[in-house]
Amino acid sequence: MSPRVVVLDYGSGNIRSAERALARAGADVTVTADRAAALECDGLVVPGVGAFAACMAGIRAVKGDEIVGRRLAGGRPVLGICVGMQVLFDHGVEHGVDTPGLGEWPGTVEELHAPVLPHMGWNTVDVAPGSRMFAGVEGERFYFVHSYAVRAWTLEIQETSRTAAPLVTRATHGEPFVAAVENGPLWATQFHPEKSGDAGAAVLRTWVSTLAGA
Protein backbone atom coordinates (compact mmCIF):
# COMPACT_ATOMS: atom_id res chain seq x y z
CA MET A 1 0.00 0.00 0.00
CA SER A 2 1.32 3.45 -0.91
CA PRO A 3 2.11 5.80 1.99
CA ARG A 4 -0.60 8.42 2.51
CA VAL A 5 0.74 11.94 2.06
CA VAL A 6 -1.13 15.20 2.63
CA VAL A 7 0.04 18.42 1.01
CA LEU A 8 -1.24 21.10 3.38
CA ASP A 9 -3.51 23.45 1.45
CA TYR A 10 -3.41 26.81 3.21
CA GLY A 11 -3.66 29.07 0.17
CA SER A 12 -0.06 28.92 -1.01
CA GLY A 13 0.11 28.79 -4.78
CA ASN A 14 1.72 26.29 -7.12
CA ILE A 15 1.16 23.13 -5.08
CA ARG A 16 -0.09 20.91 -7.89
CA SER A 17 3.44 20.29 -9.18
CA ALA A 18 4.38 19.02 -5.72
CA GLU A 19 1.28 16.82 -5.68
CA ARG A 20 2.20 15.25 -9.02
CA ALA A 21 5.85 14.78 -8.08
CA LEU A 22 4.95 13.06 -4.82
CA ALA A 23 2.54 10.76 -6.65
CA ARG A 24 5.31 9.82 -9.08
CA ALA A 25 7.51 9.13 -6.05
CA GLY A 26 5.04 6.47 -4.92
CA ALA A 27 2.76 8.31 -2.50
CA ASP A 28 -1.03 8.35 -2.30
CA VAL A 29 -1.40 12.15 -2.26
CA THR A 30 -4.22 14.40 -1.06
CA VAL A 31 -4.18 18.21 -1.14
CA THR A 32 -6.28 19.41 1.78
CA ALA A 33 -6.50 21.60 4.87
CA ASP A 34 -8.56 18.96 6.70
CA ARG A 35 -7.15 18.68 10.21
CA ALA A 36 -7.88 15.00 10.71
CA ALA A 37 -6.34 14.03 7.37
CA ALA A 38 -3.25 16.13 8.04
CA LEU A 39 -2.78 14.61 11.49
CA GLU A 40 -3.43 11.01 10.50
CA CYS A 41 -1.50 10.72 7.21
CA ASP A 42 1.84 8.98 7.00
CA GLY A 43 3.62 12.13 5.82
CA LEU A 44 2.70 15.83 5.79
CA VAL A 45 4.17 18.25 3.24
CA VAL A 46 4.19 21.97 4.03
CA PRO A 47 4.71 23.86 0.74
CA GLY A 48 5.23 27.58 0.37
CA VAL A 49 5.91 30.31 -2.18
CA GLY A 50 5.92 34.06 -1.78
CA ALA A 51 6.19 36.11 1.39
CA PHE A 52 6.98 34.61 4.79
CA ALA A 53 4.28 36.67 6.55
CA ALA A 54 1.57 35.69 4.06
CA CYS A 55 2.46 32.01 4.34
CA MET A 56 2.40 32.15 8.14
CA ALA A 57 -1.00 33.85 8.06
CA GLY A 58 -2.34 31.09 5.83
CA ILE A 59 -0.83 28.35 7.95
CA ARG A 60 -2.29 29.76 11.15
CA ALA A 61 -5.70 30.24 9.49
CA VAL A 62 -5.98 26.47 8.95
CA LYS A 63 -4.29 25.72 12.31
CA GLY A 64 -1.28 24.34 10.48
CA ASP A 65 0.94 25.45 13.35
CA GLU A 66 -0.95 23.12 15.70
CA ILE A 67 -0.94 20.31 13.14
CA VAL A 68 2.83 20.48 12.60
CA GLY A 69 3.49 20.70 16.32
CA ARG A 70 1.30 17.71 17.15
CA ARG A 71 2.79 15.59 14.38
CA LEU A 72 6.36 16.28 15.46
CA ALA A 73 5.51 15.71 19.12
CA GLY A 74 4.42 12.23 18.07
CA GLY A 75 7.42 11.64 15.81
CA ARG A 76 5.28 11.81 12.64
CA PRO A 77 7.10 12.86 9.44
CA VAL A 78 6.85 16.40 8.07
CA LEU A 79 8.55 17.79 4.94
CA GLY A 80 8.84 21.55 4.40
CA ILE A 81 9.55 22.93 0.91
CA CYS A 82 10.87 26.44 0.11
CA VAL A 83 8.94 28.92 2.30
CA GLY A 84 7.48 25.79 3.89
CA MET A 85 11.01 25.22 5.19
CA GLN A 86 11.54 28.86 6.18
CA VAL A 87 8.45 28.98 8.40
CA LEU A 88 9.90 26.18 10.53
CA PHE A 89 12.38 28.68 12.01
CA ASP A 90 11.79 31.25 14.75
CA HIS A 91 11.41 34.38 12.63
CA GLY A 92 11.22 35.77 9.13
CA VAL A 93 12.29 39.36 8.46
CA GLU A 94 11.14 40.89 5.17
CA HIS A 95 11.12 44.61 4.37
CA GLY A 96 11.65 45.43 8.03
CA VAL A 97 8.72 43.30 9.20
CA ASP A 98 9.58 40.59 11.74
CA THR A 99 7.08 37.71 11.60
CA PRO A 100 7.15 34.82 14.10
CA GLY A 101 7.50 31.40 12.50
CA LEU A 102 6.67 27.95 13.84
CA GLY A 103 9.76 27.87 16.02
CA GLU A 104 10.77 24.27 15.40
CA TRP A 105 14.36 25.48 14.91
CA PRO A 106 16.08 28.64 16.16
CA GLY A 107 17.13 31.04 13.46
CA THR A 108 16.02 33.96 11.32
CA VAL A 109 15.04 33.96 7.67
CA GLU A 110 16.45 37.12 6.10
CA GLU A 111 17.52 38.52 2.75
CA LEU A 112 20.64 36.99 1.26
CA HIS A 113 23.69 39.16 0.71
CA ALA A 114 24.15 38.49 -3.00
CA PRO A 115 24.83 40.61 -6.11
CA VAL A 116 21.74 39.22 -7.87
CA LEU A 117 18.38 38.47 -6.29
CA PRO A 118 16.28 36.44 -6.44
CA HIS A 119 18.49 33.39 -6.44
CA MET A 120 16.73 31.65 -9.30
CA GLY A 121 18.04 28.60 -11.08
CA TRP A 122 20.17 25.52 -10.54
CA ASN A 123 22.79 25.21 -7.83
CA THR A 124 24.88 22.52 -6.23
CA VAL A 125 24.69 21.82 -2.51
CA ASP A 126 27.28 20.98 0.14
CA VAL A 127 25.71 17.79 1.46
CA ALA A 128 25.96 17.03 5.16
CA PRO A 129 27.97 13.87 5.91
CA GLY A 130 25.68 10.93 6.52
CA SER A 131 22.72 12.49 4.72
CA ARG A 132 19.94 10.10 3.78
CA MET A 133 18.02 12.75 1.86
CA PHE A 134 20.75 13.15 -0.75
CA ALA A 135 21.86 9.52 -0.99
CA GLY A 136 22.96 8.89 -4.58
CA VAL A 137 22.53 12.54 -5.68
CA GLU A 138 25.22 14.23 -3.62
CA GLY A 139 26.85 15.84 -6.66
CA GLU A 140 23.67 16.93 -8.44
CA ARG A 141 22.14 20.38 -8.85
CA PHE A 142 18.77 21.50 -7.50
CA TYR A 143 16.37 24.28 -8.47
CA PHE A 144 16.08 27.34 -6.22
CA VAL A 145 13.76 30.36 -6.39
CA HIS A 146 14.18 32.67 -3.38
CA SER A 147 15.68 35.89 -2.08
CA TYR A 148 15.51 35.00 1.61
CA ALA A 149 17.08 32.15 3.56
CA VAL A 150 18.54 31.13 6.89
CA ARG A 151 22.10 32.38 6.70
CA ALA A 152 23.30 30.87 9.98
CA TRP A 153 22.35 27.57 11.61
CA THR A 154 22.47 28.10 15.37
CA LEU A 155 20.99 24.91 16.85
CA GLU A 156 23.64 22.65 18.31
CA ILE A 157 22.48 19.24 19.50
CA GLN A 158 24.97 16.63 20.63
CA GLU A 159 24.36 13.20 19.21
CA THR A 160 23.50 10.59 21.84
CA SER A 161 22.47 6.95 21.78
CA ARG A 162 18.84 8.12 21.49
CA THR A 163 19.04 11.20 19.31
CA ALA A 164 21.01 12.13 16.21
CA ALA A 165 22.30 15.62 15.60
CA PRO A 166 20.49 17.49 12.79
CA LEU A 167 22.12 17.17 9.38
CA VAL A 168 22.44 20.58 7.73
CA THR A 169 23.14 20.86 4.01
CA ARG A 170 24.22 24.24 2.67
CA ALA A 171 24.43 26.01 -0.67
CA THR A 172 26.02 29.30 -1.69
CA HIS A 173 24.60 32.29 -3.54
CA GLY A 174 26.61 35.33 -2.64
CA GLU A 175 27.08 33.72 0.77
CA PRO A 176 26.38 30.31 2.32
CA PHE A 177 22.82 29.54 3.43
CA VAL A 178 20.87 26.56 4.74
CA ALA A 179 19.64 24.52 1.77
CA ALA A 180 18.20 21.48 3.57
CA VAL A 181 17.85 19.97 7.03
CA GLU A 182 17.27 16.42 8.23
CA ASN A 183 16.21 16.39 11.89
CA GLY A 184 14.50 13.16 12.90
CA PRO A 185 10.93 13.20 11.50
CA LEU A 186 11.36 16.79 10.26
CA TRP A 187 12.96 17.25 6.85
CA ALA A 188 13.04 20.45 4.83
CA THR A 189 14.47 21.87 1.61
CA GLN A 190 14.97 25.47 0.52
CA PHE A 191 15.06 24.27 -3.09
CA HIS A 192 12.07 22.85 -4.95
CA PRO A 193 12.54 19.08 -5.31
CA GLU A 194 9.43 18.91 -7.50
CA LYS A 195 11.16 21.21 -10.01
CA SER A 196 14.63 19.68 -9.72
CA GLY A 197 14.42 16.95 -12.36
CA ASP A 198 15.74 13.49 -11.63
CA ALA A 199 17.74 14.62 -8.59
CA GLY A 200 14.68 16.17 -6.96
CA ALA A 201 12.61 13.11 -7.82
CA ALA A 202 15.21 10.98 -6.02
CA VAL A 203 14.95 13.17 -2.91
CA LEU A 204 11.16 12.78 -2.88
CA ARG A 205 11.38 9.01 -3.44
CA THR A 206 13.76 8.75 -0.50
CA TRP A 207 11.42 10.73 1.74
CA VAL A 208 8.39 8.68 0.68
CA SER A 209 10.36 5.50 1.35
CA THR A 210 10.90 6.62 4.95
CA LEU A 211 7.13 6.70 5.48
CA ALA A 212 6.64 2.98 5.00
CA GLY A 213 6.84 2.33 8.72
CA ALA A 214 5.19 5.58 9.81
Q: Which of 119, 146, 173, 192 is catalytic?
A: 192
The verdict on whether 19 is a catalytic residue reads: no
The verdict on whether 91 is a catalytic residue reads: no
Q: Which of 55, 82, 119, 173 is catalytic?
A: 82
127-145 burial, b at 16+ Cβ within 10 Å, e below that, comes to bbeebebbeebeebbbbbe
The verdict on whether 194 is a catalytic residue reads: yes
Instruction: Report helix, strand or coil for 71.
Output: helix
Nearest to 207 by CA among 146, 129, 149, 131: 131
Q: Which of 19, 140, 182, 194 is catalytic?
A: 194
Nearest to 89 by CA among 39, 167, 154, 159: 154
Integer distance in angstroms from the first to the last C-alpha of the chain?
A: 12
Q: Which residues are catalytic?
A: 82, 192, 194
